[in-house]
């Protein structure tokens, strides 16, 4: 959580005011950039896990299909994409 503190001294000039606003703005940009970086790597990790899980599921389904065809006395399918 962010803690917002009042300036240590009173802002008496426009220059001081704009410096104070610039400091706040830069701090917010840094915080947003860090948050987006964490989200990017989290999303990348989730995509990798999902791809692995889908690959494993496709292999299991193909095995089930092959076993069902063998049980029915049918030849294995040809031309399947390799998983």
Task: Kindly indicate the confidence band of residue 79, based on its pLDDT and cuts at 50, 70 and 90.
Answer: low
Residue 6 confidence (pLDDT):
67
- Does 82 have pLDDT greater than 60? no
- What is the total residue count of the chain? 83
Tally: H helices and E strands in the chain: 1, 0
Task: Give 8's DSSP letter.
Answer: S
Query: Between 65 and 10, where is the model more confident?
Result: 65
Residue 83 confidence (pLDDT):
55
Residue 76 confidence (pLDDT):
74
* pTM of the entire predicted model: 0.60
Query: Between 56 and 83, where is the model more confident?
Result: 56
83/76 Cα distance (integer angstroms): 15
């Amino acid at each position: 959580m962010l803690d917002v503190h009042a300036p240590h001294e009173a802002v008496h000039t426009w220059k001081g005011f704009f410096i104070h606003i610039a400091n706040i703005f830069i701090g917010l940009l840094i915080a947003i950039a860090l948050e987006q970086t964490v989200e990017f790597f989290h999303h990348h990790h989730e995509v990798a896990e999902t791809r692995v899980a889908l690959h494993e599921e496709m292999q299991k389904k193909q095995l089930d299909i092959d076993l069902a065809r063998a049980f029915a006395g049918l030849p294995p399918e040809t031309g399947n994409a390799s998983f």
